[in-house]
């Protein structure tokens, strides 16, 4: 997880790649860095969440790789958002109601990992039975529909 001045992102991503890291969450970045970040990640076969992401919370694994200090309860609902502001609001709202999540993921700018990738991942996750999405745009509508159908078939095979 890169939580530093955006100018250091490429240097740190390179160091992570050299150490064998396969996934990185980038909390802040500047658009002019995106091509170099993607090229570096591809060189090391690394996946990127973000940049400009709030991060990821996975309560079943005890993981809080996010800006949020709010602990969340375990549940069967996954939340995926393209907005850090909406994510914070939902997180606060859910905390007040002791609502649980399987995953809580803020995509940010979706430089690499997109909502479709996460739907495919969550379709195979036994802890997730439903997904709540907040989307501002789709990069590939057909791929999104395909991933959503795949999740529905995995989760509700008789329907």
Q: Are 106 and 125 in the same domain? A: yes
Nearest Cα residue to 104 out of 65, 47, 149: 65
- Condensed to tens digits (0 to 9), the pLDDT of residues 53-107 reads 899 999 999 999 998 887 899 999 999 999 988 999 999 999 999 999 999 999 9
Helices marked H in the chain = 9-18, 34-43, 84-96, 115-123, 141-155
Q: Report the CATH number at residue 72.
A: 3.40.50.261
Total domain count, the chain: 2
* Alpha-carbon gap, residue 159 to 57, rounded angstroms: 30
Give the distance, in angstroms, between the CA of residue 114 and the centroid of all CA atoms in the same chain: 8
Are both 82 and 68 inside the same structural domain? yes
The verdict on 90 and 20 lying in the same domain is: no
C-alpha distances (whole Å) from 15 to each of 28, 141, 153 are 17, 35, 40
95 shares a domain with 137: yes
pLDDT tens readout for residues 122-158: 999 999 999 999 999 888 889 989 888 888 888 776 6
| Claim: this prediction has a pTM higher than 0.85 | yes
Query: Are 93 and 110 found together in one domain?
Result: yes
- The pLDDT assigned to 157 comes to 67
Measure Cα distances from 150 to 73, 121, 122, 134 in Å. Answer: 26, 10, 10, 19
> Distance between CA 58 and CA 118 in Å, rounded?
13
Model confidence pLDDT, tens digit, residues 14-68: 999 999 999 999 998 899 999 999 999 999 999 999 998 899 999 999 999 998 8
Domain, as residue range, for 157: 53-159
Check: CB of residue 79 under 8 Å from CB of residue 105: yes
Residues 45 and 119 in one domain: no
């Amino acid at each position: 997880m890169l939580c530093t001045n955006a100018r250091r992102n490429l240097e740190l991503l390179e160091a992570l790649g050299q150490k064998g890291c396969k996934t990185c969450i980038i909390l802040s970045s500047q658009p002019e860095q995106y091509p170099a970040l993607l090229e570096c990640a591809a060189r090391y076969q690394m996946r990127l969440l973000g940049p400009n992401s709030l991060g990821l919370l996975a309560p079943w694994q005890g993981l809080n790789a996010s800006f949020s200090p709010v602990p969340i309860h375990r549940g069967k609902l996954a939340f995926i958002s393209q907005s850090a502001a909406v994510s914070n609001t939902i997180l606060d709202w859910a905390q007040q109601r002791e609502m649980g999540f399987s995953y809580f993921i803020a995509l940010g700018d979706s430089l690499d990992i997109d909502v479709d990738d996460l739907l495919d991942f969550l379709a195979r996750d036994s802890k997730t039975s439903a997904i709540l999405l907040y989307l501002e745009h789709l990069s590939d509508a057909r791929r999104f529909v395909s991933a959503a159908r795949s999740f529905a078939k995995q989760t509700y095979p008789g329907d």
